Every structure is written in C-alpha cells, then in structure tokens.
Amino acid sequence: MLRRKSAQLIALAIIVFWLAMMALFVRREGLLPFLGESPRPLSRRILEPMDTWMGVYLPNDTRIGFVNTTSTPDIRDGKVGAVVTVTARLRVTLMALPTDVFIAGSAWFTQVSGLSEFSFKVQSGDHFMRVVGAVDADRLKLEIHTAGEVIPFEFSVPGESLLLSGGMGTTTLNVPQLEPGQEVLIDAFDPMTFMMGKARVKCIREEPLEVLGRQVDTKLLMTSHSGITSRVWVTHDEEIVRVETPFGFTLRKATAQEAFRPFGDDDSSILLDTVALQPTGKKPFRGAKRMTVRLSGTLPRHVPPTDSVQTASDGVYTIAASHEPASAPAAPAKPLPDDARRDALESDPFVQADHERIAGLAQDILAGEADPWRQAKRLYQWVFEKIRKEAVFSVPSALEVLETGEGDCNEHTVLYTALARAAGVPTRIAIGLVWSDELGGFYYHAWPEVYVGHWVRMDPTLGQVIADATHIKLLEGNIETWTQIIPYIGQLQIEVLSIE
C-alpha cells in the first residue's frame, strides 16, 4: 500500500496531465500561426499598433488567467512587417497547491511572405522550455532549449508562405472576410507538437455581443483543427473578442486592469468536474485484473487501439492486466516488424534516448543485465523510486526530468521511455484513462509499454510493474500524437460492464 501522501500526489499527477493537455491547446491557439496555402497580405490589423487583453475563465466564471497580444509595425532589411507578441499566465489550484504557468512568445511577419521567425517559452516553477524557429524557403528550422541542451529540428512545410491566422487569444484572423454560410480551409501547423493538418473556418451568422459593457456587431465563426472545434466571435474589423473552447475554457476581451489584477482567494479551482470522467455501471477499483467497458460518444474515426491486452468488439472493450513474464529471451520469439521496432527505439526532441546522459544512466542502472524483461523492471524501479511524484505543468522532456528529478505521469513516462530505448528495449508511450480510487473517477494519464516478446504495460507513476486493468488506452505514440486525445475530452462516455 502506498502511503496516503504518495497516493494524493499520484492523484494530483493524473489531474496535471489533463492540465498539460490544455496548456498545449492554449499555446497552439494563442501563440502559434496557421499556415496559408498561398500568399496574401497580412490582415491590416497586424500592421497596426495593437495591445489587446483577454481573460481566461472557467464555466463558473472563475478567472484563471489572461492572454495579452501586441502588434508593433516594423521594417527589417527594407521589408514592411510587424512583430507580434503573446504573453499568457494561467493559475489553477490543485488540491490546495497553486500552480502557475507562464507562456510568452513573439514572431516577425512580413507583409508579403508572412511568418519569418518566432520564439516562445513555457515556464512553470523550475521547469522551463524555449523553442526558436525560422523559415528558410520551404523549410522550418527549430531549436528546442531544454535542460541546458539545444536540440535542432527541421522539416518541410507546405505552401509558399506562412501566414498568421487566428485562434485562442490572438486578435485577428488572416482569412478572407466571410459572410454567413461561407467557409475556408487552411493548412495549420503547431511547432509544439510538430503536427500539420487542415483547419476549417466557417462563418455561422452575424450576432450582436456585449463587449466591455457595450453592444458590438460580430460574426460568429466555427474553427476546427485536429478534432478541436471552437466558437469565435470576431468584429467587422477582424478583432477577436470572445472564444469558447470545447474544454470549458472561455476567453473574452478585457481591460488590462481586469485581466492583470492579482488573483484573489476565490480565483482558484480544483477542476475535478472538468477533468473527471464519471462512468456508469459497475464501480471500478485500483488493482483490477480484468475490466470490460462500453465506450461511446465520440466520432467514428476516433477509435482506441487494440492489442493483446485491450480487445474490442462493437464498442465494447476488454482490458486484462498482463501476467508478468517469467523470463524474456534476449531475442524475442515474436520479433517486432522492422518499422515498429525502429519507432519503439528512436529518439526525438523530447525522448532523447541517444543522448549520452540518458544512455550512460541506463547502462549504470542495468549493470550488465541482458534479459529484456529484467532490464525493463530495473529501469521501472529506478524511475519509480528516484523521480518525485510532483505536480508539473510543463511539456515533458526526458533530459529535464533527469535534471529536476520530479514530475507527474508525463515526466515519469518520457524518462522511462528514453532509458528503456537507450537500453535497446522497444518501448512506446500510451495515453488514455486510469481509474483513481482517491478521486472517484477516470482521469487522463500516460504510461509506457515495453516489448518483451509481447507488449507489457507498466506504470512507474502509480507503482505498478504490471499496469492494472483500469488503464484504458486511447492512443499511443510520442508527444507529437498527444493532442489526438483532445477529441475524446468532454465527449467520451464509459459504461463499466464488469470488473474483477
């Protein structure tokens, strides 16, 4: 049995995973641009001096932060453009522990060719990450600064230019003026998750809206990207004055005094109602060996994966905790296909399995152990014992976790994955839901899975060598896939048919 304090921290970690996902959404919609398919001049508002404040609120009208956007006309090397900056602060209180996250970024846009360079940083307590990017022809070149390391990254982008569009917290939409019923499709890119996709913007209707105590004529737009649909109210001069997200967040235009005023004692929320998923049917319990659930409420294209542990039939999923392998051969009897093995061993900017510090630590922990399953268990034990169970509001990086020695399920999972891959144990990251006895609901969670002749789920955050049957996997993959969890949030319904 875990001590009560440890159990509380574990429950806290589950909540913070959800908050990290919301932070990704704020960064994508608040700081980062959409990519246009063809060049056109930037919105005239971007080329005008601008200083706009928006408050961030929960459904009960609790204020949890602000977003400030500025635009300053500028000329560089004879090119007319503007510098756009976004500064945001969010505060949530989790089980009486206030957590603050600061997000700040800036970008340089030219009037003709659009985005040229940008930089943004995220900081929460001692956790800090910075991303710097620049456009070079059809290449986007990035540097990720984390844990004292600089990690280069680049890839090609579609279209002839990167054009500023809008979203959560920005103050302008760089799309043609739309009339009710009209819509446009534009390419969208998120440097935080390195994902490309199509964004749809549709004008629903014209609608008067009260803004700072006066009636303003607006157009209601529906913006959809990566399974996220938000409602955006835009004035006729292209200023965003209100945004409603599918997660309960609302942004609305505010004065600087209102948005920036100090938080009071009542400006906090545990957010249990927001992050909890209450099932119907039988009540789950931690440590279950087998669970059968009916999943519903999401679009048909959002289908959780299946494997030897999680099977499905007509929307009914059965999850069975694996039996611990007695021994795993050095060369598994059922080797992974080459592509799957490569994916389960590779490094990326956040899971730095090939870094000398990660590889060296893995070697020290294993001390010559050659059996893959015993390797997996030794690494699990080290991560479980050495990484403090602390609420962390940040984007996880294995190197930063190694430096700070603390984190929630995200941090435990990325560090474990990096160590296991460095040791040659194929490992993948699972994202989904887990039951919490302490909080009485399912919460969003991350855990690693290792391949030792078959896939085995482990959970170094919760202290489970073999993850129990209340782990419902919704997707798998590295951080670039994590935002795919968003379409499930607020939509997924669970009926527990059996639990044992």
Distances 365 to 285, 400, 411 between C-alpha atoms, Å: 33, 19, 18
Same domain, 356 and 420: yes
pLDDT in tens, 369-427: 999 999 999 999 999 999 988 777 666 789 989 988 988 888 899 999 999 999 999 99
Residues 124 and 93 in one domain: yes
User: Do 76 and 162 fall within a single domain?
Assistant: yes
Assigned token pair, 114: 């659009």
* Same structural domain, 167 and 292: no
Position 376 scores a pLDDT of 96
Residue type, 362: A
Structurally, how many domains does the chain consist of?
A: 2
Locate 117 and state its tokens.
């360079």
Segments in 332-453 forming alpha helices (H): 338-343, 356-366, 372-386, 398-404, 409-422
In a domain, 70, yes or no: yes
Give the domain extent around 411: 276-499
Query: Helix (H, G, I), strand (E, B), or coil: what is residue 212?
Result: coil
Identify the three-state secondary structure at position 465: coil
- Look at residue 16 and tell me if it is in a domain: no
Cβ(239)–Cβ(214) under 8 Å? no
174: closest CA among 37, 50, 80, 78?
37
Nearest alpha carbon to residue 402 among 458, 355, 446, 465 = 355
Q: Is residue 150 part of a domain?
A: yes
Domain endpoint, select from 260, 293, 310: 260
- The answer to whether position 27 is within a domain reads no
Per-residue pLDDT of 194-204, as tens digits, reads: 455 567 888 99
Asked whether residue 319 falls in the same domain as residue 377, the answer is yes
Task: Please give the pLDDT value at position 163.
Answer: 34
18 within domain boundaries: no
Burial string for 376-407 (b: 16+ CB within 10 Å, else e) reads bbbbbebbbeebebbbbbbbbbbbbbbbbebb
The last residue of one of the domains, among 207, 232, 260, is 260
Which residues of the chain, if any, have pLDDT below 50?
1-41, 95, 159-173, 190-194, 267-268, 270-273, 328-331
User: Is the same domain home to 148 and 204?
Assistant: yes
Q: Do 88 and 196 belong together in one domain?
A: yes
Q: What CA–CA distance (Å, rounded) separates 45 from 327?
A: 65
Which of 196, 228, 260 is the last residue before a domain boundary?
Answer: 260
Q: What is the model's pTM?
A: 0.74
Which residues neighbour 30 within 8 Å (Cβ) at sequence distance 6 or greater? 67, 86, 88, 103, 167, 168, 169, 170
Statement to judge: residues 344 and 493 lie in one domain = yes
Cα–Cα distance measured from residue 283 to residue 281, given in angstroms and rounded to the nearest whole number: 7
Residues 211, 303, single domain; the answer is no
Are both 280 and 367 inside the same structural domain? yes
| Residue of 138, 137, 134, 105 whose CA lies nearest to 122 | 105
CATH number, domain containing residue 478: 3.10.620.30
Residue 24 belongs to some domain of the structure: no
In a domain, 6, yes or no: no
Report the distance separating Cα 28 and Cα 34, nearest Å.
9
Q: At what angle do helices 409-422 and 372-386 cross, to 10 degrees?
A: 140
What is the β-pairing status of strands 388-389 and 406-407? Answer: parallel
Residue 9 lies in a domain: no
pLDDT reported for residue 491: 80
Look up residue 66 and give its amino acid: F
Shared domain for 209 and 298, answered yes or no, is no
Same domain, 386 and 416: yes
